Amino acid sequence: MKKHPEHCSLLQFNILNNQIGVEHFSTTRQGGVSKGPFSSLNMGNYSDDCSIDIYENRQILSRMWYMDISDFIIPHQTHSSNVLVINEAFINASPSDKIEVLYGVDASITHLRNIFLCVTTADCVPILLYDKELQIVAAIHAGWKGIVNGVIENTVTKMKEVYNTNPSHIVAAIGPSISQKNYEVGDELIAKFNKSGFDLSSVTFENKQTNKWHIDLKLVSRNELVRLGVEPNQIETSTLCTYDESEFFFSARRQTIVSGRMLSGIKLLD
């Protein structure tokens, strides 16, 4: 990843920058108006941050792209495996209907142009997908619960069902999230992954001093994309850790409940 050439508070992926017809971003915590633990570019509505500041932060982002804030589709995520197709019916719906439809959504896909599909994260994994052949985009919020329940598989499957996407044509970007060394989990979480059929042999290690496991959610996500047919050389994974890089990122594990959220988004160009 690297900084956006014009907006230093945004990050971009090399692999998506090399594609024609698509634009994307991942915010940092810098460049906004929020204060205290939410300083400063908090994009998450569902926190104790001032709603006016959150709205202004989103306006700052929309002005960077010369777009209206309504063109950023931001679900109310609940760590589900639900995938929403953003189509003309959604775009034409009333604001209140959109809010209702977006509740409990953790991934979205679309063929429509000039709208950003977005996800908010603080340690979970943001994943952006681009079908370079059929011009389809997707955004996924992949926490452990969503991954275990199949949010990545459901998204790729929905792209295949609705748009006839061939997974080998997908370009994938896996964004900043908590690193393996900082993501300590118990036996019960490992059991959930095992029960869902995940091979954890290459993505976990056990700390013998603490008797706790450490899991690499970014690598789990990458392996899942490869299993679903995405070519390994068409996946870029950020090495940035939201827990360690406190100057640049919010972290729910580091900050507990008083954490802001970053926003990642992808859109098709005209």
CATH of the domain at 104: 3.60.140.10
- 257 pLDDT exceeds 90? no
- Share the mean pLDDT of the chain: 98
- For residue 248, being part of any structural domain is answered with yes
- For residue 153, being part of any structural domain is answered with yes
User: Bigger pLDDT: 256 or 59?
Assistant: 59
- For residue 7, being part of any structural domain is answered with yes
- For residue 196, being part of any structural domain is answered with no
Strand ranges inside 122-187, DSSP E: 125-131, 136-142, 170-174, 184-185
- For residue 128, being part of any structural domain is answered with yes
Any idea what the Cα angle at residue 85 is, between residues 79 and 86, rounded to 5°?
Answer: 110
pLDDT confidence of residue 103: 98
Q: pTM for the complete prediction?
A: 0.98
Q: Which residues contact 241 (CB under 8 A, 6 or more apart)?
A: 176, 177, 178, 179, 182, 249
Q: Which residues contact 226 (CB under 8 A, 6 or more apart)?
A: 232, 235
**Token reading at 39:** 């300083």
Domain extent at residue 122: 2-178+217-268
pLDDT confidence of residue 256: 87
How many H helices and E strands in the chain?
Answer: 9, 15
**What percent of the chain shows pLDDT beyond 90?**
99
**What percent of the chain shows pLDDT beyond 70?**
100
Segment 49-56 shows an average pLDDT of 98
- For residue 79, being part of any structural domain is answered with yes
- For residue 158, being part of any structural domain is answered with yes
Query: In what side-by-side order are the strands of the sheet with 184-185?
Result: 184-185, 212-215, 204-207
- For residue 160, being part of any structural domain is answered with yes
Q: Is 3 helix (H, G, I), strand (E, B) or coil?
A: strand
**Token reading at 176:** 């900043």
- 236 pLDDT exceeds 90? yes
Q: What is the domain count for the chain?
A: 1
- Please write the tens of the pLDDT for every residue from 142-162: 999 999 999 999 999 999 999
